[in-house]
Amino acid sequence: MSIQEKIDNYKKTLSLFPNPQEKYQYLIEQAKFNDDFPENLKIDEFKVNGCQSQVWLVPEEQNNKLYFKSDSDALIAKGLVTLISTIYSGETANDIVNSEADLMEEFELGVILSPARRNGAFSMLKKIKDFASGLTD
């Protein structure tokens, strides 16, 4: 499934929630699906700068595709990083770098997230793209 197809699937799911509070709750629910992050990876090297809470994002390359493990000490941030990691995991570095999707716009998250959380989501995506960029020709 392509990055855009994953985004479209999330958009379809988020459109089922008529109000911002339910979308916010959906993000928190996403955090509950992400509970296998190893404690030994909670180090500064994998920390996402620019987030209001502590967020870790660990890239792995396998068979020319990138996969991301993630965690946070706050549920909403953990839900956001889980969603973003899921969208970009299993994709090539070139596909990630060339993706111009604006997730805040696509998911209408600007309505439910504070400016600090929007900045954190941007920082998460930037970390993913920076890693992918380092692997492209």
Is 51 tagged catalytic?
A: yes
**What CATH number does the domain containing 35 carry?**
3.90.1010.10
The H or E element spanning position 94 is helix 93-98
Task: Dump pLDDT digits (tens) for 70-99.
Answer: 999 999 899 999 999 999 999 999 999 999
For residue 24, give both structure tokens. Answer: 């916010």
Query: What is residue 56's DSSP assignment?
Result: E
Tell me which residue range forms the domain holding 32: 3-133
Rounded (10°) angle between helices 3-14 and 20-31: 130
Sorted by sequence, the CB contacts under 8 Å of residue 22 that are 6+ apart come out as none
Q: How many domains is the chain built from? A: 1
pLDDT of residue 88: 96
Residue of 3, 14, 48, 51 marked catalytic: 51
pLDDT of residue 85: 94
Please tell me the distance from the alpha carbon of residue 3 to that of residue 98, in angstroms, as a whole number.
10
Task: Dump pLDDT digits (tens) for 20-73.
Answer: 889 889 988 989 888 889 999 999 999 999 888 999 999 999 999 999 999 999
Task: Dump pLDDT digits (tens) for 96-116.
Answer: 999 988 888 888 777 778 888
Please tell me the distance from the alpha carbon of residue 52 to that of residue 115, in angstroms, as a whole number.
10
Q: Could you tell me the CA-to-CA distances from 22 to 34, 38, 75 in Å, in that order?
A: 19, 30, 15
